[in-house]
Structure 1
Amino acid sequence: MLHKYGTPAFRLEAYLLEVASYLGVHASFIATPTSITFVIWSDKHEDEYNHAARLQPGDLDMSALSLTDELANELLSGKVSLSDADMRLDKINEMPSPYGKVITGFAFALATGSFSMLMGASVPEILWTGLLGFVSYLWVLWAQKSKRVNLMLEPVTSFMAGILACAISRYFDPGINIPLMVLSSVIILVPGLALTMGLAELSSRNLVSGTARIMDAIMQLFKLYFGAFLGVAVGFSIFGQNQFEPAASLPYWATWLAVGLLCFALVPIFRTRIKHIPWALMSAFIAYGVTVYSSIYMDQTFGTFIGAFALGVFANVFTRIANQPSTIVAMHGLIVLVPGSKTYIGLNSFISGQDFVQADHVGQEVFLIFMSLVAGLIFANVVMPTKKAL
């Protein structure tokens, strides 16, 4: 169940070992993004049980993760029996999103529009991007009911976003920044977070899981870019070429508003529980604010390290106070810090030789920022260690 909710392999293995130790069971676990292997044995190995489960890569579900963690705590404290815990796990597994489809759809629109605001888009581009983000959510809904659509979700979503952006440029708003709008409309699907989790697993010497997660994220990125590239090419052939005319960007204070709106929009998307919303908002502002002000006095890469360090300390403080997994609030801050968009921009620059936003040395910058993120979180766990495996 924890694997299903997007828990990194090293934390999942540590958590399972805690439960096994409490139950007095000799056990070993190997977790990867697509499988878990269980080995349980008696004191002198008279009896041994082996089980390998083939699983799909997990999705982030902060509500189910929180409820599962609370259930595990009740089990470890003796408040519920194993049979009762097993029944409640089934209920958590079948539980729908606490926010519903309509609110989640508006959250997609708000998140994509907020991200385009962070990238310096104009007001019309922000509104159009929000509309494209809502269309992307319709594809996500379809993918939940169709295995075929789920397999092609990334390329078909970016493909349709590219065609629709070209149509908007032709009939409604000529001069818009089409590549920026396409990127922003699919930003929820850009696997920057998965890349960071993969690097964190590699740094913890979970080599198989980390390598698998990174390769999966790279393939998702390629599929997104191919769909966007093809969609824009088809759109240009149907509606004609677009001549980008830079419009006036919003003032600097709008970036802080964008951070708040983006984090607030992630609440329904991540299914964060209502009682954790203030913590999630604080994590985003702490991560972004510390990074911005640190970058004034030092290199941006080191500023990202300081921001990730502050985020890690805050997430571990949240764990000590609320007795909940640090992942619940850390994910919101990481979305602000993770340079998934810069990875996409770098891929666009590498293939087409063109930049749709100002981004010098983007490839080197992306690598250094990823390393700074991982290092900051590791240092935070040393300075302010968490008492929970998650």
Structure 2
Amino acid sequence: MDNAEFIQIRRFILKLGKMLHKYGSPSFRLEAYLNEVATHLGVHASFNSTPTYLTMVLWSDGHEDEYNHSARMQPGELDMNSLSRTDELAYELLSGNISLAEANICLDKIDAMPSPYGKKLTGLAFGMSTGAFAMLMGAGWSEIMYSGLLGVMVYFWTLWAIRSKRVSLMLEPVASFSVGFMVCVINHYSSSGFNIWLIILSSLIILVPGLSLTMGLAELSSRNMISGTARVMDAVMQLFKLYFGAFLGVSLGYHLFGQQELAQAATLPIWGNWLGVLLLSVGLIAIFRTRLRHVPWAIATTFIAYSVSTWSSVYLENGLGAFVGAFSLGVFANVFSRLANAPSTIVAMHGLIVLVPGSKTYIGLNSFISGHDIMKTDHIGQETFLILMSLVAGLIFANVVVPTKKAL
């Protein structure tokens, strides 16, 4: 390998690593994937990834050429469209269908690609997903409607955060403050009362870091200690910021409009849960930017995760039904990876959303600080811990039974 070829290879791997990090790939999957690509391209490599840092070392067989690179990175956001296209491009390169120069140009095009669903559809997806989550939480029609409307307001804050660095630094507390205060305003002028904390939780569910917390524990289980610890602590701080903002907004609302009783609207029948799962799965398609070819798989994944975990919870107590749900989800996602020749993460994240206990963590935090229960729950701390461990264990067992085709 001459020096020019080595430079071309390391440029591609560097750009590939930064892009996959940007699209929210877990550290242990990102490092394994980049090692596979480097091996196929004929170079030796060592990678170290954290949510805010990426380091790589590349060298040739005889150490004639060596390259070290360290970069400070912003935590990535899930983008299944770009992740899928980047993986396809890497596969085309390793198959010999395109050259390194062509691959580098294509990576730039993928990186500049906007969301395939646009801002209006994504905003609608925020409202649909937050309303659907309220359905799953046993809310009434009025609570579902207000959760959806406030979810759209949260989306406007996320758009502002993209354009303003100052807003991005305070996105969680300012969005939750706005939601908390607006719920008090709505409840004050509404003829029928409702559970304001349930609406707040549902409206903010897209920002609640349940998925990040699960990913961090998965990284810790794979012995990525630095990355896992950083992701878990980041998720905890996001949760604290969300709760503080909501608590501040509600406190201001109580001060202006007086203490408001927590009323519970009439809940929907059992079919409301399944409608909620459907609407949530459809909304996540735009939020995660899932490609149209993967949409049926993503929706099926959500229903499999929810139905299996619900069914098994009848026979398994203390949240252990999440283990069976995560195992089924992992097997299905790995089968998808083999059949579609795509990363299992593309559809697995959709199913994990209905399994991760981010909402239970928020409920427990609210009960601990305020003394009020959003909904009737017993031993929520123990149940949340068991669900988190069950999710990680279920995914590990699934990878043993049906190994994934790709590291991502």
Q: What's the TM-score, normalizing by structure 1?
A: 0.98
Alignment RMSD (CA, Å): 0.9
Q: What residue is the counterpart of 1:179 in the other structure? A: 197
Q: Deviation per CA, 1:137-179, whole angstroms, max 9, x where unpaired?
A: 0101100100000000000000000010000001124411111
Q: What residue is the counterpart of 2:337 in the other structure? A: 319
Q: 1: CA distance between counterparts of 2:34 and 2:73?
A: 17
Q: Supply the AA of the counterpart residue of 2:350.
A: H
Q: What residue is the counterpart of 1:362 in the other structure? A: 380
For the structure 1 residues 140 and 173, does the alpha-carbon distance in structure 2 shift closer, same or farther, using more than 3 Å as the test?
farther
Q: Are 1:109 and 2:142 counterparts? A: no
Q: Tell which deviates more after alignment, 87-96 or 294-303.
A: 294-303
Q: Supply the AA of the counterpart residue of 1:296.
A: V
Q: Tell which deviates more after alignment, 235-244 or 336-345.
A: 235-244
Q: What residue is the counterpart of 1:52 in the other structure? A: 70
- CA displacement at 1:275 relative to structure 2: 1.1
Q: Deviation per CA, 1:242-300, whole angstroms, max 9, x where unpaired?
A: 12222210001110110111011010000001111110111011111111111112224
In structure 2, the gaps of 5 or more residues are 1-18
Q: What residue is the counterpart of 1:191 in the other structure? A: 209
Q: Supply the AA of the counterpart residue of 2:377.
A: A
The alignment partner of 1:188 has SS state of coil
Q: What residue is the counterpart of 2:33 in the other structure? A: 15
Q: What residue is the counterpart of 1:389 in the other structure? A: 407
Q: What residue is the counterpart of 2:149 in the other structure? A: 131
Q: Supply the AA of the counterpart residue of 2:328.
A: A
Q: Tell which deviates more after alignment, 223-232 or 356-365.
A: 356-365
Q: Supply the AA of the counterpart residue of 2:274.
A: W
Q: 1: CA distance between counterparts of 2:65 and 2:339?
A: 41
The alignment partner of 2:374 has SS state of coil
Q: What's the TM-score, normalizing by structure 2?
A: 0.94
Q: Deviation per CA, 1:273-330, whole angstroms, max 9, x where unpaired?
A: 1111110111011111111111112224221100000000000000000001101110
- CA displacement at 1:101 relative to structure 2: 0.5
Q: Which runs of structure 2 are paired with 1:332-371 in the superposition (5 Å)?
A: 332-371=350-389
The alignment partner of 2:298 has SS state of helix
Q: Tell which deviates more after alignment, 346-355 or 191-200.
A: 346-355
Q: 1: CA distance between counterparts of 2:89 and 2:60?
A: 26
Q: 2: CA distance between counterparts of 1:351 and 1:243?
A: 17
Q: 2: CA distance between counterparts of 1:87 and 1:271?
A: 22
Q: Deviation per CA, 1:20-75, whole angstroms, max 9, x where unpaired?
A: 10111011111111111111123343442211011000000000000001001001
Q: 2: CA distance between counterparts of 1:184 and 1:233?
A: 19
Q: What residue is the counterpart of 2:95 in the other structure? A: 77
Q: 1: CA distance between counterparts of 2:60 and 2:199?
A: 58
- CA displacement at 1:185 relative to structure 2: 0.5
Q: What residue is the counterpart of 2:169 in the other structure? A: 151
8 Å CA contact retained: 1:69, 1:324: yes
8 Å CA contact retained: 1:174, 1:242: no
Q: Are 1:309 and 2:327 counterparts? A: yes
Q: Are 1:170 and 2:184 counterparts? A: no
8 Å CA contact retained: 2:142, 2:265: no
Q: Deviation per CA, 1:333-371, whole angstroms, max 9, x where unpaired?
A: 000000100010011111112211111111111011000
Runs of 4+ in structure 1 off by over 4 angstroms are: none
Q: 2: CA distance between counterparts of 1:45 and 1:177?
A: 65
8 Å CA contact retained: 1:161, 1:182: yes
Q: Supply the AA of the counterpart residue of 1:255.
A: N
Q: Supply the AA of the counterpart residue of 2:91.
A: N
Q: What residue is the counterpart of 2:117 in the other structure? A: 99
8 Å CA contact retained: 2:143, 2:265: no
Q: What residue is the counterpart of 2:6 in the other structure? A: none
8 Å CA contact retained: 1:190, 1:341: yes
Q: Tell which deviates more after alignment, 242-251 or 206-215.
A: 242-251
- CA displacement at 1:19 relative to structure 2: 0.8
